[in-house]
Structure 1
Amino acid sequence: MTDVSSSSSSSKVKTLRGFKALELDTRLLGMIGAFLVICIAFNVLTDGRFLTPRNIFNLTIQTVSVAIMATGMVFVIVTRHIDLAVGALLATCSAFMAMLQVRYLPDMFGLGLGHPLTPWITIAAGIAVGTAIGAFQGWLVGYLTIPAFIVTLGGLLVWRNVAWYQTSGQTIGPLDPTFMKFGGINGTLGATWSWIFGGLAVLWVVWLLWSARRAKLSHGFPVKPVWAEITMGGIMAAGILGFIATLNAYDIPKGRLRRVFAARGEDLPDGFSAAYGLPISVLLLIAVAVAMTLIATRTRLGRYIFATGGNPDAAELSGINTRLLTVKVFALMGALCAISAVVASARLTNHSNDIGTLDELRVIAAAVIGGTALSGGIGTIYGAILGALIMQSLQSGMAMVGVDAPLQNIVVGTVLVAAVLIDTIYRKRTGGK
């Protein structure tokens, strides 16, 4: 034992060589390739309108609500469950938050639209409601052992109609101005702050790469050659800054600028222009993605989730309370549905009766396309977000081309089945990894 440790400590750290040194995820590369093919194809079919800054901006803010829920769906599917009620739960939380800020808070506490506390009380209460409903569904699944498919199928019907009864089927709006900043176009950072955020994000990526390399060196693990580290850092930095540059290229229309200046009692200066920049909703998605990734990779909860999904019987025998874990996973899913409800209703500037319709299909499809195995135990947060972007790109592109809504749903359903088939074949060829 002593000889082995001494020889390993004195030997040189191995470095990976060739193309393998980049350690690229083939599944991730496949998804990125599919996304690029979709973008290029629709850009050709729309005579260059699909890849304009305006459409990319709209595509980004349309993806956020589904992507946020998809990160939670990863945990649900990893633990070998399913949640068919996410769209209906989003509608219930949206209706509750709309009624809270438009009617309940003004009537009971005198906190009307525009009051500094209104949006934050609304969001906190909405998340609490979503978490409670999710925990209740998790309790039915975990402790009463009712199959998640049945519980959430019933939840789809129940919560969709609870949302209707809260508002009597009416559209509720307008919503609080600060609340609506989470929807996208009504809340952006502007060009300067977007560049600052992009620069900080690049520095954070560089620090992550450096710290990961240092950790591997300290433990004697194989590391990438310096050129591979620089290449990966350069690719990620170019992607971040290119995304920021694209969003900053979308200028606010003159009519909107005139209204903004008119509200201040000023005239729009000649030649003045301003860019939307990075939407606050995208910042929210980034925060959720980072938090969920940390939970998945750095916490006991995350380890328990993946261990339970890999082998539920072994996890229970090792001391994991799988019933309580189920409650936690569904409670987290409910909280994310509430956050998505904030984004969706804020983007629409009101609560509508059909909000979140068919989102359960989109969320499950995003997670599966992103590489989450329906057999449990395998899934990534970044994969689910990329899957949501692919789904939204398909729908947005088909709408721009003029494809009817029924045919759009046919294509989405076909893509979902094809994604599961491809995933099954891939796992068989790679030994289930």
Structure 2
Amino acid sequence: MNQISQTSAGPGLVEEGAVRRFLRATEIDTRMLGMFGALILIWMGFQIYGIVYNGNGAFLTYRNLWNLSVQTSSIAVMATGMVLIIVTRHIDLSVGSVLGITAMLMGVFQVWVLPQYLGLGHPMIWVLTVLFGLAVGTLIGAFHGVLIAYLQIPSFIVTLGGLLVWRGAAWWVARGETISPVDANFALIGGGPYGSIGYWGTWFVALLGCVAVVLMLASGRRQRARFGFPLRPVWAEVFLAAISAALIVGAAFIANEYFWPVGIVKQYAAANNITIPEGGLNISHGFAIPVLIAAFVCIAMTFLATRTRFGRYVFAIGGNPEAAELAGINTKRMTMLIFALMGFLVGISATISSARLNSATNALGQFDELYVIAATVIGGTSLAGGMGTIYGAMLGAVVMQSLQSGMVLVGFDSAVQQMVVGGVLVVAVWLDTIYQRRVK
């Protein structure tokens, strides 16, 4: 009787069981699936809106997708650090202002200071400037961490004060003056035709990425077998490898299908004595340098969070701070290090942002804290602490930037854009609350 009732209950139960078995075998995070679905809906929505109201769909074009990847890089880098901060039940409202002061100090350093000693256009200017910016960001982050960990001031108050203090300091450094242009080599970090790795470089990086995915899956399988953990079916491993490789190859194809503007091609051809053929000369951008930086940061932060003692301590503190301290974890030192790491990542984002703008302004990074926190929460990091993923935050950054870019393309007012971003943040926190209730 039982068997008959299960069969007659309809194909829905059988299908649901198959989907659950598939998700369990592949260990795909259902929240990430939902984010991918939301991202596709956002992309298709803006594309259809553009076709209906503007007569052309400008969103799903090689040019816009390439620009979207570059625009996302700065927020994505900071979002990886915000994951660790929120996991440990803290918050950082100052990242945008710290980015602003760091970018301004880097601008002063490379435009006003270093040329006096090294000479204009010296090849070491960009190297010293980047190191200086990373040091400034790290020191500011460590200072916040000391106030929070050792003086027991709530992170909300410390970073809210930092938001105001560092924004004012960014203006004070040059009295509101825009510092431009930055060093030519430094500007390449921001992307653009010369700040990309080109056609063959992109395919080489894509090949390395595909090989790395296969090696990571194989290494993970060996580790599971070594410690007696359940193994994924072979077909699930193959499926995950194929999907990952398809995404990498697709990204490489899109990057290579966006060509240099005609004017820059003519300048390049004239400078290198190249004759432009009858049909024109197509030179691929390929992956932009800031995108590669963001990808490297994602890999490094994922390794740090999941494969090191530091990462285990972070999630232990987020799960239960009191128990973590009783277990011998120096929670104060860890808190200081986490905020110092956040400052280091802000230094990277400041480098990307100012290089992309080819200048440093006191308004750089304004409202970035909103986008970073929203990207982190949308990516599945719980405000209750103890839960979050680096790749989820990266995907959340893509979602946030897609919303912003799409609204700009279709002509939404800036006021509407801010309203939408604020609404998305509230909805994301609401969904996280529902998820936490179901888990409990």
* 2:218 equivalent among 206, 210, 224: 210
1:425 aligned residue (424, 428, 434): 434
Summarize the alignment of residues 277-296 of structure 1 with structure 2, pairs less than 5 Å apart: 277-296=286-305
Letter in structure 2 aligned against 1:191: Y
CA deviation vs aligned residue, 1:383-404 (integer Å, no higher than 9, x gap): 1111111000001111111110
| Residues 237 and 268 of structure 1: CA distance in aligned 2, closer, same or farther (over 3 Å) | same
Query: What's the RMSD between the two structures over aligned residues?
Result: 1.4
Matched position secondary structure for 1:46? helix
Read off the aligned partner of 2:122 and give its amino acid letter: H
Shift of 1:425: 0.6
Match of 1:390 among 394, 399, 414: 399
Which of 296, 308, 319 lines up with 1:310 in the alignment?
Answer: 319
Aligned equivalent of 1:241: 249
Q: In structure 1, what is the Cα distance between the partners aligned to 2:161 and 2:24?
A: 48
Q: 1:276 aligns to what SS in structure 2?
A: coil
Task: Name the counterpart of 2:26.
Answer: 22
Which of 188, 191, 207 is the equivalent residue of 2:196? 188
Report the equivalent of 2:54.
Answer: none
Q: Distance in 2 between matches of 1:173 and 1:265?
A: 30
1:251 to 247, 259, 262: 259
Matched with 2:43 is 39
- C-alpha deviation, 1:264, in angstroms: 3.8
Q: 1:219 to 1:421 in 2, by over 3 A?
A: same
Q: Does 1:334 align with 2:343?
A: yes
TM-score (norm 1): 0.93
Q: Which residue of 2 aligns with 1:141?
A: 148
The corresponding residue for 1:399 is: 408
Query: Which deviations, in whole Å up to 9, do the C-alpha atoms of 1:236-258 show, x marking residues without a partner?
Result: 11110011101111011111111
The CA deviation at 1:19 is 5.0
1:132: which partner in 2? 139
Amino acid at match of 2:434: I
Conserved? CA contact 1:111–1:117, under 8 Å: no
Which residue among 367, 380, 387 is the counterpart of 2:389? 380
Aligned position for 2:14: none
CA–CA separation in structure 2 for the residues paired with 1:337 and 1:164: 18
| Structure 2 residues not aligned, in runs of 5+ | 1-19, 52-56
Whichever residue aligns with residue 43 of structure 1, its letter is: Q
Q: Give the secondary-structure state (helix, strand or coil) at the position aligned to 1:255.
A: helix
CA contact under 8 A between 1:17 and 1:225: conserved in structure 2? no
Which stretch shifts more, 258-267 or 363-372?
A: 258-267
Aligned counterpart, 1:7:
none
The residue number in structure 2 matching 1:8 is none
Normalised by the length of structure 2, the TM-score is 0.92
Determine if the alignment matches structure 1 residue 161 to structure 2 residue 168.
Answer: yes
Contact 1:77–1:373 (Cα < 8 Å) also in 2: yes
**Does 2:127 correspond to 1:120?**
yes
Report how far residue 148 of structure 1 moved. Answer: 0.7
**Cα contact 1:258–1:267 (8 A) shared by 2:** no
1: CA distance between counterparts of 2:310 and 2:22?
37
Distance in 2 between the 1:224 and 1:328 partners? Answer: 35
Give the whole-Å Cα distance in 1 for the aligned partners of 2:318 and 2:414: 36
Question: 1:315 is aligned with what amino acid?
Answer: A
Shift of 1:408: 0.6
Paired residue secondary structure (1:172): coil
Percent identity, aligned pairs only? 52
Matched to 1:45, the amino acid is Y
Distance (Å, rounded) in 2 between the aligned partners of 1:136 and 1:295: 22
Residue 291 of structure 1 aligns with an amino acid whose one-letter code is A
What runs of 5+ residues in structure 1 fail to find an aligned partner? 1-15
